[in-house]
Amino acid sequence: MAEIGKDITKAKQLLEAGELVAIPTETVYGLAGNALDVTAVTKIFVAKNRPEFDPLIVHIADRAQVNVYAENIPELAQQLAERFWPGPLTLVLRRKNNIPDLVTSGLDTVGIRCPDHALTRELLQSLSFPLAAPSANPFGYVSPTTPAHVNDQLGDKLSYILDGGACEVGIESTIIGFENDAPVVFRMGGLSLEKIEAVVGKVHIATHSSSNPKAPGQLVSHYAPRKKVILGDVKNLLKDYAKEVSAVLSFKTNFNVPHQFILSPSGNVEEAAQRFFTALRDLDKLPVDVILAEQVPNVGLGRAINDRLHRASAA
């Protein structure tokens, strides 16, 4: 198992040596390596068993660094970065040649974000390179929101986990790209559509891709536990699957069944987002055949939760 600690100097030394370190962000924990080192980036793909056609996100210390790795940045992208960085927003921008092809899966664009976590920003500021850091979990599985989650899944694939506590947002970053300088949402995430549109106006949504995605997290089947997830009206699903041992994932309703996780008894979608991946993990460990789940209100971060539910059920 990997060592868990708060030693930024140790994390820095490992990364400079081309090793991988799990890092905390406000969204989920990332499996980080030197984004400019092809050998380190290759280790990320191998550790996650991630297909090389699925691009990685590059993490930077501050907004000014975006100009080092991207060019021809649209005005609306600059407005979004000024308003929401650091924060749970990834911008897909035209990359400069210093970003390796492997990071972008050969695309001429790269996803960049500035994470809103003090420990990781201090680490990034101490480094002479940005970090490629997809979620620190095996490809396609539930994303980690605590150091223990990382250790459970990838503890034998890395030597150090930088402990930043539990992630505050709990859902991956929202990803926005630009087509003819117009913003397009490639992945729903921790920054709500309402907040984005308040800055740039109406945006187009193109969140799924069966192959050759334009951004990370676009594959139809993703974020899935090992147990089969059935999405629908839980009350009816309990009747339909009465012969199977099932667990329930609900938004706020108590269905009075033996195995259940209520995301937010108070009906708060932000709390539901914080607890979502933990819920899937906990239910996945139970002696059940299926997980019966319902959508949450499709507003704010509820859109990102529903997106993850649909993709978990597609597995």
At residue 195, φ and ψ (nearest 5 deg) are -70, -40
Q: What is the arithmetic mean of pLDDT over 177-201?
A: 95
Which one, of 125, 126, 131, 128, lies nearest residue 111 by Cα? 131
Q: Which of 172, 205, 238 is the last residue of a domain?
A: 205
Domain identity same for 113 and 186: yes
Instruction: Give the percent of the chain with pLDDT over 90.
Output: 89
Q: Is residue 34 part of a domain?
A: yes
At residue 109, φ and ψ (nearest 5 deg) are -120, 160
State the pLDDT at residue 140.
85
Please report, to the nearest 10 degrees, the dihedral formed by the alpha carbons of residues 185, 189, 191, 196 taken in order: 10
Domain identity same for 22 and 164: yes
Q: What is the arithmetic mean of pLDDT over 139-154?
A: 95
Assess whether the previous peptide bond of 138 is cis (omega < 30° from 0): no
| Confidence band, pLDDT 50/70/90 cuts, at residue 208 | low
Cα–Cα distance measured from residue 133 to residue 140, given in angstroms and rounded to the nearest whole number: 15
State the pLDDT at residue 220.
57
Domain identity same for 165 and 296: no
Which one, of 237, 236, 245, 253, lies nearest residue 292 by Cα? 237
Q: What is the arithmetic mean of pLDDT over 182-189?
A: 94
Cα–Cα distance measured from residue 94 to residue 110, given in angstroms and rounded to the nearest whole number: 6
Alpha helices in 49-135 (DSSP H): 66-69, 75-84, 101-104, 118-126
Question: How many domains does one find in the chain?
Answer: 2
Is a pLDDT exceeding 80 seen at residue 97? yes
Note the pLDDT tens digit of each residue in 237-255: 999 999 999 999 999 999 9
CATH label of the domain that carries residue 298: 3.40.50.11030
State the pLDDT at residue 299.
95
Q: Is residue 301 part of a domain?
A: yes
Q: Is residue 246 part of a domain?
A: yes
pLDDT top residue among 220 and 279: 279
- CA angle centred on 312, ends 41 and 169, rounded to 5°: 65
Q: Is residue 101 part of a domain?
A: yes
Q: Is residue 162 part of a domain?
A: yes
What's the chain's average pLDDT? 94
Report the sign of the C-alpha dihedral through residues 53, 58, 63, 65, in that order.
Answer: negative
Q: Is residue 212 part of a domain?
A: no
Bridge-based pairing state of the strands 30-34 and 21-23: antiparallel
Domain identity same for 9 and 144: yes
Q: Which domain holds residue 122?
A: 3-205
Alpha helices in the chain (DSSP H): 8-16, 38-48, 66-69, 75-84, 101-104, 118-126, 147-154, 193-200, 234-240, 269-284, 302-313
Note the pLDDT tens digit of each residue in 22-34: 999 999 999 999 9
- Region of poorest pLDDT, from 123-127, 142-146, 245-249, 307-311: 307-311
Is a pLDDT exceeding 80 seen at residue 218? no
State the pLDDT at residue 308.
92
Query: Using N-to-C axis directions, what is the helix angle for 193-200 and 75-84, rounded to 10°?
Result: 130
Q: What is the arithmetic mean of pLDDT over 201-221?
A: 70
Q: What is the arithmetic mean of pLDDT over 36-45?
A: 96
State the pLDDT at residue 2.
95
Domain identity same for 16 and 152: yes
Q: Are 172 and 27 in contact (CB under 8 A)?
A: yes
At residue 228, φ and ψ (nearest 5 deg) are -70, 135
CATH label of the domain that carries residue 50: 3.90.870.10
